[in-house]
Amino acid sequence: MNDINLDGKYRVTSTSNYDGPLERKSDGITIIRDGKTSRFDENNVLWNSHFRILNEKEVEMIAVADPAEAKEGFALTRPDGSPTLEPVAYKTILKLARKNDKIQMSGQIEYGDEIVILTMRKISD
C-alpha cells in the first residue's frame, strides 16, 4: 500500500436519486494533496474531504460540505430531507482502481433516503 499515492487533480462526477427542489451542483475539479481536498462547488458550498487508503482496492472518504457561503436560496439537506445551512458530513468506502498513473475512485454514498453515485477520475498530477 505504500506505493499508492492519491495526490493529483481529479474530475468529480455524481448522480443521485434526489428529487427535491434544491439544484445540486457539486461536480467539478478537485486536487488531492496528502489525502485532503478543499474546494467550492458551483453553489459556493465548501467541500473538505479526507481520503484514507484502506487497502489496494478501497479508500475511505469523509467529506464535510459547509453551505455557510452558499448562493442565496441554496441549502443542503438533513437525512430526513429537510433543508439545512449547517455543515453535513458524508462517509463512504470508495473502490480504488489503478492502472499505471491512472486512478479512479468510485462508490455510493447513502444519506437518509438519498443515494449518490460518486466517481473521481485522476486527470493530472
End-to-end alpha carbon distance in the chain: 19
Q: What is the pTM (predicted TM-score) of this model?
A: 0.91
Quick one: pLDDT at residue 2? 60
Q: What is the pLDDT of residues 48-95, one digit of tens each?
A: 999 999 999 999 999 999 999 999 989 999 999 899 999 999 999 999
Residues β-bridged to residue 106: 95, 119
Which domains, and CATH codes, for the chain? Answer: 8-124 (2.40.128)
Cβ atoms of 90 and 65 closer than 8 Å: yes
Q: What is the pLDDT of residues 32-45, one digit of tens each?
A: 999 999 999 999 99
Burial class (CB in 10 A: 0-12, 13-18, 19+), 120: buried
CA distance 103 to 95: 10
